[in-house]
Amino acid sequence: MLKLRGHHLICLHFFNGEGYDSAFVENLKDVLNRSQKEEIEVCEGADAVCEKCPYLKGDKCGYDAQADNEIKKMDNKALMYLKVRPGARIKWQEIKEAVSGLFPQWFSEYCVECDWKKVCVKNQDYQKLRA
């Protein structure tokens, strides 16, 4: 079962082959591949993406001093927009469809100031949603 946290259920749609390091990128490719074939369990905290992240410290996000709290808030907001709860089992295609509807709000709330925006803008799905 592939476990994914709230904001990754949205942001992963805009992966464009870039990431913190090669282990992280290879894992992202694997996660996306699995997402097409496996059911996804919505989780709280560190997930299948965080597993290979150089910033994961124990079970917390150490991207910066406030990251763990801020990212958990972002996860909660993503789950609210997606109308799913932790523990739910979902399919990637259902999430993909939901992301189209919530994207304008997500963009103005999170993408505008995100460090990764410069990467996501190269993704074709992201460009379509922005058009």
Residues lying near ligand SF4 in the complex (CB under 6 A) = 49-50, 53, 55-56, 61, 63, 67, 71
Our CB check for ligand SF4 shows the closer of 70 and 97 to be 70
Question: 15: which DSSP letter?
Answer: -
CB 71, min distance to ligand SF4, A? 5
As given in the structure block, the two tokens for residue 86 are 């932790």
CB 131, min distance to ligand SF4, A? 27
Question: By the 8 A CB rule, do 82 and 102 touch?
Answer: yes
- ∠30-97-116 over CA atoms, to 5°? 55
Class of residue 9 by CB neighbours under 10 A (exposed 0-12, middle 13-18, buried 19+): buried
Query: Rounded distance, CA 123 to CA 91, Å?
Result: 21
CB 107, min distance to ligand SF4, A? 18
CB 75, min distance to ligand SF4, A? 9
Beta bridge partners of 56: 61
Our CB check for ligand SF4 shows the closer of 15 and 104 to be 15
Our CB check for ligand SF4 shows the closer of 55 and 107 to be 55
Our CB check for ligand SF4 shows the closer of 9 and 53 to be 53
